[in-house]
Amino acid sequence: MVSTTSTLLVASAKPPGHVAIVMDGNGRWAQKRWLPRVAGHKQGVESLRGVVKACIERGVAVLSVFAFSSENWSRPADEVSGLMDLLVMALSREVPSLEKSGVRLHFPGDRSGLSARVVQGLESAERATAHNSALILNVCFNYGGRWDVVQAARRLAQQGVEITEESLSAATALSHVGDPDLLIRTGGELRISNFLLWQSAYTELVFTECLWPDFDDAELDRALGEFARRDRRFGRTAEQLAQAQPTAVDKRHA
């Protein structure tokens, strides 16, 4: 159950505009039940469906999830193959309902190492939902924060553009959205594991022991409640923050 305090905080506070989630714990969830690891990933898709719905209901504008990192290729071959098959299946099954719900899909990440079938599925899903605006859902697939910074810098160098904070931000794979306000990691680990490194400079971090397949509305509200309690100063003192008008930094992270 959600605590009364968390419920009141979520109800009274402005929700974070951009929530990012490291969806960790699928494999451990399956192993605890003597199931193959891919069963945990399948249940994780169910959790994501519920969180997407909950974010729309709570007024979150952007949800970014870490679906497959550039380091995940080192996992057992059968698990990687199962994840690819699951992605294709999930796209065919979930995109129509996401489109009807007003969700716009983006798949930030390196597509050069993906099969033609997977790339075609990603591009088709993006086209089918391009007109939607209820929620932007970034499913970061074959993504890594260091990869993102490197590819952005390389692109600017090739274009002969000076590398500044603004130009680099505009060249990243998530340049179509503002930086995340809140990053949640499930599964009990206390790190962000190469996810949105550039974008998370001023992001509030919340870690939970809950394994991703068990993550539900109540867990989301606990994280939103924790976010509502945070004092986001962006390098200023509390007194300065109380007196100041919103700055460019605030707007970028709003």
Which positions are catalytic?
24, 72
| DSSP E strand boundaries for the chain | 18-22, 62-69, 103-106, 135-143, 182-185, 204-207
Q: Are 60 and 74 in contact (CB under 8 A)?
A: no
Using DSSP's 3-state secondary structure scheme, residue 17 falls into coil
Instruction: Return d(Cα 144, Cα 114) in angstroms, integer.
Output: 15
Which amino acid, 221? D
Q: Are 234 and 249 in contact (CB under 8 A)?
A: yes
Instruction: Return d(Cα 75, Cα 27) in angstroms, integer.
Output: 11
DSSP state of 141: E
Q: Which one, of 25, 166, 18, lies nearest residue 106 by Cα?
A: 18
Alpha helices in 172-245, H assignment, sequence order: 217-229, 238-243
DSSP state of 34: T
Instruction: Return d(Cα 125, Cα 104) in angstroms, integer.
Output: 9
